[in-house]
Amino acid sequence: QDQLQQKIVCPGPVTCLAASPNGLYVLAGIAESIYLWEVSNGNLLAILNRHYQDLTCLCFTDDSSHFLSGAKDCLALVWNLYSVLQAEPSQIPDPRHVWSRHSLPITDLCCGFGGPLARAATASLDQTAKLWEVSSGELLLSVLFDVGIMSVTLDLSEYHMFCGGMDGSIFQVDLCAWPVQRDRSFQTERENGKVFKGHRNQVTCLSVSTDGSLLLSGSHDETVRLWDIQSKQCLKTMNHKGPVTNAFIVLAPANMFNPDGKPSVPLPKFSKHLHGTESSDEQGSDGVTLRLGLHQQECGESYLEKAEKMYAQMYSTREKNLMGDQEHLTIQVSELEEEVSTLRKINKNLFDFSARIITKPAK
């Protein structure tokens, strides 16, 4: 009988979603863009356009200082949240790292503990899972499998990396194995004691319990399974009425077991427009925007100088252009926008077709 507290309509289909551990921000992947909202007031703080194909996964570091994004363009990006929040609205901030060592779409991301010093894992259809260092951006480990990897996670102590394959297998990779090899192949025949077998279709999500003894997995075979990691035995199977797209283990809050418990802070409606660009009559409440670190930027124009320059350009453009030229320009711009939209659709269809051909299993 539970009802949604707030229905929020986004600018397009949401392919991935992530909330910061401190509860202050929400990320959404919509087409090729990353949308960043502030939870307390619903303001849309940033729209990041640095990927060339649709987003597939997002995740935060445990201290909420950084977040990672993966997409079908084979790139995984590391973003500094402070830099994103302090960037000018007219500028697209640069990611801290661009990881381009995968050759096919990124399917999943996982970040360990340690904030900016954490290690992150990426999974891809190119049959590899890779382990990275967030602080330096260096590649620490690359493991090659026999099948495409759809999901990846780390245990709390980061002794093991668990990878879910397209064929339903779950692989356990020892991160403390000796001798240390940066490039490693996982051969199922030799590593028979490190494979969880039971799913009949691709494994879409993985989660490890805080004590490192249990593994939760969801699959397109419409089941969620709970495994004992030590013995690789399936302890419980939960059936669903459709493909499972996400499942994870979380510590239950105390309020969860109180039938009368309700959220103390109502969730506001998330804005569709960037904060500061809405018209004044749409602004429901007065507020003060603080921008930190701008005093460190010694060079650069002040806001008044920028405003004066903008007004000067507007007036000079208005004087030079006649109404007929304006109409012609508007028609030309609309035609170009339609052509760009068509070319983007063609490019996306070509990319999806080639990815399907490459990843199609051999008969």
What's the alpha-carbon Rg for the chain, to the nearest Å? Answer: 24
Give residue 279's pLDDT. 46
Distance (Å, whole) CA 29 – CA 45: 14
Q: Output the CA angle 213-78-81, nearest 5 degrees.
A: 100
Residue 157: both structure tokens together: 């102590």
Q: Which helix (H) or strand (E) holds 338?
A: helix 323-359
Label residue 155 by pLDDT band (50, 70, 90): very high
| Residue 169 identity | S
Give the residue with greater pLDDT, 351 vs 118. Answer: 118
For 243-252, the pLDDT digits (tens) are 999 999 988 8
Label residue 333 by pLDDT band (50, 70, 90): confident
Is 2.130.10.10 the CATH number for 14-254? yes
Rounded average pLDDT over 242-270: 81
Give residue 213's pLDDT. 94
Best CA proximity match to 203, nearest among 224, 233, 187, 185: 224
Best CA proximity match to 14, nearest among 53, 51, 45, 57: 57
CB-based contact 150:184 (threshold 8 Å): no
Best CA proximity match to 49, nearest among 109, 106, 107, 91: 91
For 1-24, the pLDDT digits (tens) are 454 566 778 888 999 999 999 989
CB-based contact 170:203 (threshold 8 Å): yes
Give the residue with greater pLDDT, 319 vs 94. Answer: 94
The neighbouring-strand residues paired with 122 are 109, 130
Label residue 105 by pLDDT band (50, 70, 90): very high
Distance (Å, whole) CA 19 – CA 39: 9
Q: Output the CA angle 172-176-181, nearest 5 degrees.
A: 90
Q: pLDDT at residue 89 above 70?
A: yes
Q: pLDDT at residue 29 above 80?
A: yes
Distances (CA, A) of 64 to 20, 24, 183: 6, 9, 30
> Would you list the domain boundaries of the chain?
14-254, 305-347
